[in-house]
Amino acid sequence: MDKLPKIGIPIVIIAIALIIFIAKSTVTIESGEAGVLFETFGNGVVTDEPPLSEGFHLVAPWNKVFVYEVRQQEVSEKMQVLSSNGLEIKLDASVWFQPLYSKLGSLHQEKGVDYVARVLQPAVRSAARSVVGRYTPEQLYSSKRDAIQEEIYDETKEILKDQFVQLNEILVRDVTLPPTIKDAIERKLRQEQESLEYEFRIEKAEKEAERQRIEAQGKADANQILSTSLTDKILQDKGIEATIKLSESQNSKVIVIGSGDKGLPIILGNQ
């Protein structure tokens, strides 16, 4: 009975050591993540093999695994940059990115786990300063927002070309101008719209006047042609034709032949 405690103590020690060994030797990579292996007694960061994928892994307890999120991520950037004429512009943008999976070991070795602050954000800020500095506040406020968004994306992607980071998209959410500049631009835009509306009204009035002139000229020409073509003989013949048609009507009437102007009949009746 006295020997049991002495035998039990080594067993407990071995069991504890075994638990610690297993805990240090197992790594679980969650969904959307990947692991970079660091071999303490080897060559350090493993860069010539694919990173550890999702799932359960056994590693030597003296080695380390650095876990990275490899799905698409978003970082928001609020920057103060200068326009082409030196005015301060506030830019609010979202950056969609993810680490380059096949180069995750190199990313860890050269940039580290804080690569977003070391590489991505400086690249976006540098590109934004370069692009916005080519435009005036008026262009940034109105028609060039989509253009600067695309240009910032292109320049940032070029900077990140050899930095093991995949840039997916840059979205410019807001461009804020100094209040005085913004008010001046809005007044100018309103004046331009009013001027365009005034020009449209003038053009419309001129077209309507031209239409009425053409219509009046057409009527005048038609009357001139008609008046020159009507003779007394034609009018008399037309009157006779009208008299014949009226005499054939079922309505009661009295026709006085030769009593009207130019000898045309006068038609009397109750209709």
CATH number for position 94: 3.30.479.30
164 and 214 inside one domain: no
| Domain assignment present for 248 | yes
Q: What is the pLDDT of residues 208-249, one digit of tens each?
A: 888 888 888 887 777 777 677 666 666 666 666 767 776 666
Task: Please tell me whether residues 144 and 109 are part of one structural domain.
Answer: yes
Write the DSSP symbol of residue 52.
B
Q: Given 147, 177, 207, which residue is the final one in a domain? A: 177
Residue 241: φ, ψ to 5°: -60, -40
Tell me, yes or no, whether 81 and 162 share the same domain: yes
| Per-residue confidence (pLDDT) for residue 194, from 0 to 100 | 63
The HSE-up count of residue 112 (CA atoms within 13 Å, CB side) is 4
CA nearest to 49, candidates 114, 112, 109: 109
pLDDT (average), residues 160-188: 82
Give the list of residues 6+ apart from residue 247 with CB closer than 8 angstroms, or none.
253, 255
For residues 224 and 79, the model is more confident at: 79
When divided into structural domains, the chain yields a total of 4
* C-alpha span between 50 and 168 (Å, rounded): 22
Residue 144 resides in a domain: yes
Please give the pLDDT value at position 60: 85
Residues 101 and 56 placed together within one structural domain of the fold: no
Residue 78 domain flag = yes
One domain for residues 123 and 161: yes
pTM recorded for the entire structure:
0.62
Q: Burial level of 120, CB count in 10 A (0-12/13-18/19+)?
A: buried
Sign of the CA dihedral 121, 123, 127, 133?
Answer: positive
C-alpha to C-alpha distance for 136 and 74, rounded to whole angstroms: 29
In a domain, 152, yes or no: yes
Spatial CA neighbour of 170 closest among 185, 190, 187, 152 = 152
- Is 91 inside any structural domain? yes
What residues make up the domain containing 55?
3-69
- Write the DSSP symbol of residue 59: -
Q: Do 195 and 264 belong together in one domain?
A: no
Does 56 have pLDDT greater than 80? yes
